[in-house]
Structure 1
Amino acid sequence: MTQQAYMTETADGGSEPERPGSRLRRLTHRLLDGWRGDPRVWRRGIVLAVLALLLALVMLVHSRIPNRVGNLGSLTETFLPWMGLAIPVLLLLGLVRKSATALIALLLPTVMWLNLFGGLLSDKSAGGGDFTVATHNVNADNPDPATTATDVAASGADVLALEELPASAAPVYEKALAPAYKYHAVVGTVGLWSKYPMTDVRAVDIKLGWKRAMRATVATPKGPLAVYVAHLPSVRVKMQAGFTARQRDKSADALGEAIADETVRRVVLLGDLNGTMNDRALNAVTSQMRSTQGAAGSGFGFSWPASFPMARIDQIMVKGVEPERSWTLPRTNSDHLPVAARVSLDTSS
């Protein structure tokens, strides 16, 4: 098979292979020449322009979309980053339609998306930090809890939180993690493993009627650190009720109140919150804590579902602690990805 070479005429009448940059300019000029003098470039693509403006509007007022009907607002906010996929689609359609109106209108959602999520595209991780934390929803139906425990322990985390621990599998996790962690506590279906002593371990009431949240004070080399572990209720999609999250929202409010009342200045929250940082239902928590992924991560850090991550619902959040790096760990036998973060503990009192 022979490759066709594009030639350009030289000053002396000869020819030479066309450079890639010259080819791009030639194609651009050809495209523009096809649009010049054609008044239809402004009349075509009105529907595409309207779709672009609607996309921008959703991103602009997502916090005002009501939750009264099937918690539509929270559903939109959960998958808000994925709206960016509509931009290249509309761009391609605008080019095919040769619509200047559609392409100009597309600038608005592009700017809106970059304003919301552009900061996540850069790598904000640093090389510092003196303490590593990790969290993992291990899945109650995990077929191999011992291997999962070994996999997450390989992260080297100083503190490791596990959620969705069934009573039958808890001893397996305890045995598998014992070599790496001298101290641990399990409260209901959540647990905390630490390389440093833990005190004041207790359940946190998140208004469920059973225990799915806890806190402990970890005696780190830099001083006490309050560590919260939480597994908020799942968000459900029901045929009649739509996207329902009322129980999750109520639990999030209770968790936020507990953290607000915390007396230890340095606080870390680890867990499956079943919501993203954009979800207004988590405001009671997100208004007072920083996401390590947003502050020191690279990319979106999606953690669920593990087979094709689409949302960051497993969170590491901090208060009185400086995030240095945040990342997802390799997949285990769970339907969630483990997430980890490296932080600097403030040494001031």
Structure 2
Amino acid sequence: MVGHPLVPNRPGNLGSLLETLLPWTGLVVPALLLTALLRRSVPAVIATLLLGAVWISVFGPLFLGPESDTKPNLTVVTHNVGAANPDPTATARTLLAADPDLVALEEITDDALPAYREVLDRRLPHSVHIGTVALWSRYPLAESRRVTIDPGWSRSLRARVQAPDGPLAVYVVHLPSVRVGAAGFTIGRRDAALTALDRVLDHERQKKVLLLGDLNGATTDRRLAPLMSRLTSVEDEAGSGFGFSWPAAFPIARVDHILVRNVTPTDAWTLPATGSDHRPVAAALKT
């Protein structure tokens, strides 16, 4: 739990896989405790309780919740809506229930786009759609453009939003998928896109930055460390709990993220499941 950075990433990127699922290491504690009690081994019980204490020290603070007295002025939502989503209209209505000022969607199909527009345009009149990603906003958008971080795919964009306290650079990003198979944890293409995204952010001149999207990785994954050195996770900063978002039926990892720079997070939460295989995530911010 503590020494996960020492786990080698070869073969098969096993270190990154462990870090993606790191909170689940706590499941070993009750199993070991039960075994220790059945064996009536006092040293084993003590060792297991120490292991439990380590898990609580690492992950317990995530459940304390935000303590900020800052009043937010921007609510944002991001959702990988899923290309096979059977009910885009209901999905859009679920997102609007959070009363968002910004909604970022990933994995939009051309067939489903009109349904999302019909619902979201009524409350969020400003929008941009590029490839399979889109952004809806209560506030005016400018300088909208595609961000090329994964050649051959069009699923990242950048727009400038005139937020309540000034302009805000907003990125909507959907990184390449990862897989677990015979070859291990295949993350090469995702990592290449991450490197390209880091370079884009290094050239971002806007002081305030908001990144929304499906990064196909947890913030604990060492491969996301360069990105996390540039931006702050709203969930880590102001959430309460793990904020798992995938798979929707029984979430085991947080792969959908809201990241910020020079913006203050005040709260973060997960929205109810929709017709997607991901759950939406939301945050309250002070820009």
TM-score interval, smaller chain? over 0.9
Higher relative contact order structure (alpha carbons within 8 Å, sequence separation ≥ 6): 2
Give the total of aligned pairs. Answer: 286
Residue aligned with 2:278, SS: coil
User: Which residue pairs with 1:168 in the alignment?
Assistant: 111
Unaligned residue ranges in structure 1 (runs of 5+): 1-58
1:61 CA displacement: 2.2
Of residues 41, 54, 65 in structure 1, which corresponds to 2:7? 65
Moved over 6 A (4+): none
User: Which residue pairs with 1:131 in the alignment?
Assistant: 74
1:156 CA displacement: 0.9
1:305 aligns with 2:247: yes
* One-letter identity of the residue aligned with 2:250: F
1:255 CA displacement: 1.2
1:107 CA displacement: 4.1
Residue aligned with 1:270, SS: strand
- Contact 1:303/1:314 (<8 A) preserved: yes
Q: Distance in 1 between the 2:190 and 2:283 partners?
A: 25
- Contact 1:138/1:336 (<8 A) preserved: yes
Once superposed, what is the RMSD of the aligned Cα atoms?
A: 1.4
1:287 CA displacement: 1.3
* One-letter identity of the residue aligned with 2:112: A
1:205 CA displacement: 1.5
Q: Distance in 1 between the 2:210 and 2:26 partners?
A: 31
User: Which residue pairs with 2:225 in the alignment?
Assistant: 283
Map of 1:207-218 to 2, 5 A cutoff?
207-218=150-161
User: Which residue pairs with 2:210 in the alignment?
Assistant: 268
- Contact 2:13/2:186 (<8 A) preserved: yes
- Contact 2:213/2:256 (<8 A) preserved: yes
- Contact 2:33/2:49 (<8 A) preserved: no
The higher radius of gyration belongs to 1
Of residues 254, 260, 264 in structure 1, which corresponds to 2:196? 254
Deviations 1:78-103 (CA, angstroms, capped at 9, x unpaired): 11100111112211221221112212
* One-letter identity of the residue aligned with 1:317: L
Q: Distance in 1 between the 2:206 and 2:219 partners?
A: 24
- Contact 2:16/2:222 (<8 A) preserved: yes
% of aligned pairs identical? Answer: 50
Q: Distance in 1 between the 2:177 and 2:264 partners?
A: 29
Task: Using structure 1 for the length normalisation, give the TM-score.
Answer: 0.79
User: Which residue pairs with 2:83 in the alignment?
Assistant: 140
Q: Distance in 2 between the 1:262 and 1:162 partners?
A: 22
- Contact 1:125/1:298 (<8 A) preserved: no
Q: Distance in 2 between the 1:102 and 1:201 partners?
A: 59
1:198 aligns with 2:103: no
Task: Using structure 2 for the length normalisation, give the TM-score.
Answer: 0.95
1:126 CA displacement: 4.6
1:121 CA displacement: 1.9
Of residues 33, 47, 57 in structure 2, which corresponds to 1:115? 57
Residue aligned with 2:91, SS: helix
Of residues 159, 173, 196 in structure 2, which corresponds to 1:230? 173
- Contact 1:125/1:297 (<8 A) preserved: no
* One-letter identity of the residue aligned with 1:147: A
Of residues 164, 172, 197 in structure 2, which corresponds to 1:221? 164
1:192 CA displacement: 0.4
Map of 1:5-24 to 2, 5 A cutoff?
none
Residue aligned with 2:92, SS: helix
User: Which residue pairs with 1:184 in the alignment?
Assistant: 127
1:125 CA displacement: 5.6
